[in-house]
Chain A
Amino acid sequence: MKKDLIVSIKDLAFGYAERQIHRKINMNFHRGKVVAIMGGSGCGKTTILRLIGGQIKPNSGQVEVDGKIVHEQGRKGIYELRRKMGMLFQHGALFSDLSVYENVAFPIREHTDLNEAVIKDLVLMKLNAVGLRGAHNLMPTELSGGMARRVALARAVALDPDIIMYDEPFAGLDPISMGVICDLIRTLNDALGATSIIVTHDVTETFAFADYIYFIADGIVAAEGSPSDLKKSQLPFVKQFIHSEKDGPVPFHYQANEYISDLGL
């Protein structure tokens, strides 16, 4: 029997010498759910994905994936855990020297001994799921931004991962591509029985399909809940974020000296 809780983050603190990013983060991700992590630019959303993937280590606290504490794993242990994960990077991060087909085949070739005929079937099935079976011969440079992201998604789910992480999947996409990606995230998550963790700041799309949302601000989880709960939230930060208000708890101006003194008046 698999545990329902697949990723849990406990009292996580992380920062670089010059800047503290997370002070105390607690989050839980359950199987089969689509969970979004939202917050302003630079609040450390992507860093959480990197911590889950074990690319960086926390200063204190821990990230547990499938019952294992990530930062306590050696290289082999981390690689074992990563085989359960798929990640979609912000701009796809497709290997530019490989064709669409070879990009999707890459993780399969690296981690299995399947013969070429099976690999071909698997790759075409994954590409078909994202609607790009016909593009398998193209090179990444021949794809539009939305197509590249879909190919990267096919590659991320090539080995049927338990956890799929998305780093800003909607950034820079046109509304049609955005709708396609939204739909694919939900469909793939439900078809694979996976857990999706989405880092984003696109309110409309995320509120439409996520099961649960975490808001990060000032290094802590400022708010959490289902989209319907958060829509009703009276917290100033959540209201400012959801309604795209220019000023509020997150100030419009970056910390600066007095305006008058800067102008020398």
Chain B
Amino acid sequence: MITFFENIGRGLRLKITRLGAATRLFFTIISYSSESFKRFNLTIREIYFTGVLSLIIIIVSAFFVGMVLGLQGYYTLQKYGSSEAIGVLVALALVRELGPVVTALLFAGRAGTAITAEIGLMKATEQLSAMEMMAVSPVARIVAPRFWAGIITMPLLASIFSMVGIIGGYVVAVPIIGVDEGAFWSQMQANVDFSYDIVNGFIKSLVFGIACTIIALFEGYDAPPTAEGVSRATTRTVVTSSLAVLGLDFVLTSFMLTV
């Protein structure tokens, strides 16, 4: 019985230690950021890798999510005779929830794992040590540009997701099902509020961007320098990021709805 509690305590202590280490990494990144901003081309390169190369998966997923929303929304709304509201439903669902959340989940799976594996392997092959020995900080040169790239990329990807999703919803609702095009767009325009819906969605994706990127970077930076260590760290990136995104989404939504 004592061993059972010992194990819980040990596990909990380990989690808290890792949370502390991740927080410390976060502040170290902030303190090194001015150095990495001086060479912003490194961040731009990372924006290309994490953002531009994620576009395909974001666009395709968004289109399908939008189409499914259109189908499901129409099915329910037409029971109440308000199928014209389909535009609002699709737009609000995407801008407020699905855009930021699904983008963050896809980002964690596509870009987050790549970041963890890359940094973990750089550590395992002593590239980070080599950089340190050349009097070049790996945090300034490798970690900080990826961090800022993640933060810049996430809101952009989320807005592209919402936009493409709305197009997906439109394709199903208007040309295929036959909902009135004017009603689809005008109801959307009338009921989607910029400062309430769009800005809140933007804030969410910004927070998710910070969370997903810092988790991916920390897992890579902290990974044991072995094949097994890197593979476990990569898995942890997806699991922790996904849970963090869903948990943070609830917290943020509850704040946003009460304010």
The interface of chain A, by Cβ under 8 A from chain B, is 53, 55, 78-80, 82-83, 85, 87, 89-91, 93-96, 106-107, 110-111, 152
Q: Once the chains bind, are B136 and A110 in contact (CB under 8 Å)? A: yes
Q: Once the chains bind, are A90 and B125 in contact (CB under 8 Å)? A: no
Q: Once the chains bind, are A95 and B127 in contact (CB under 8 Å)? A: yes
Number of chain B residues whose Cβ lies closer than 8 Å to a Cβ of chain A: 14
Does B180 belong to the interface (CB within 8 Å)?
A: no
Interface SS of chain B: helix
A-B pairs, 10 with minimum CB distance: A93-B130, A93-B126, A79-B135, A82-B135, A87-B133, A89-B126, A107-B134, A110-B136, A83-B135, A93-B127
Residues of B near A152 (CB, < 8 A) are 130
Q: Quick one: which of B121, B133, B136, B141 contacts A55, CB cutoff 8 A?
A: B133
Q: Once the chains bind, are B134 and A93 in contact (CB under 8 Å)? A: no
Q: Quick one: which of B125, B136, B141 contacts A93, CB cutoff 8 A?
A: B125
CA of A89 to CA of B132 in the docked complex: distance in angstroms? 12
Residues of A near B187 (CB, < 8 A) are none
Q: Knowing that A79-B135, A93-B127, A95-B127 touch, tell me 17 more A-B residue pairs with CB under 8 angstroms.
A: A55-B129, A55-B132, A80-B135, A82-B134, A87-B130, A89-B126, A89-B129, A90-B126, A91-B126, A93-B129, A93-B130, A96-B122, A96-B125, A107-B134, A107-B136, A110-B141, A111-B135
Residues of chain B in range 124-154 having any CB-CB distance to chain A below 8 Å: 125-127, 129-136, 141
Residues of chain B in range 88-145 having any CB-CB distance to chain A below 8 Å: 121-122, 125-127, 129-136, 141
CA of A111 to CA of B141 in the docked complex: distance in angstroms? 13
- Nearest A residue to B118, CB-CB: A97
Residues of B near A53 (CB, < 8 A) are 132-133
The interface of chain B, by Cβ under 8 A from chain A, is 121-122, 125-127, 129-136, 141
CA of A79 to CA of B134 in the docked complex: distance in angstroms? 8
CA of A80 to CA of B134 in the docked complex: distance in angstroms? 10
Shortest CB distance A65–B (Å): 13
CA of A94 to CA of B129 in the docked complex: distance in angstroms? 11
Residues of B near A80 (CB, < 8 A) are 135
CA of A91 to CA of B225 in the docked complex: distance in angstroms? 14
Shortest CB distance B135–A (Å): 4
Q: Quick one: which of A78, A79, A89, A111 contacts B130, CB cutoff 8 A?
A: A89
Residues of B near A106 (CB, < 8 A) are 134, 136
CA of A152 to CA of B130 in the docked complex: distance in angstroms? 10
The interface centre, meaning the residue of B126, B127, B134 with most chain A CB atoms within 10 A of its CB, is B134
Shortest CB distance A103–B (Å): 10
CA of A218 to CA of B206 in the docked complex: distance in angstroms? 54
Residues of A near B135 (CB, < 8 A) are 78-80, 82-83, 110-111
Shortest CB distance B109–A (Å): 22
A-B contacts, 25 of them at CB < 8 A, read: A53-B132, A53-B133, A55-B133, A80-B135, A82-B132, A82-B133, A82-B134, A82-B135, A87-B130, A87-B133, A89-B126, A89-B129, A90-B126, A91-B125, A93-B127, A93-B130, A95-B122, A96-B125, A96-B127, A107-B134, A107-B136, A110-B135, A110-B136, A110-B141, A111-B135
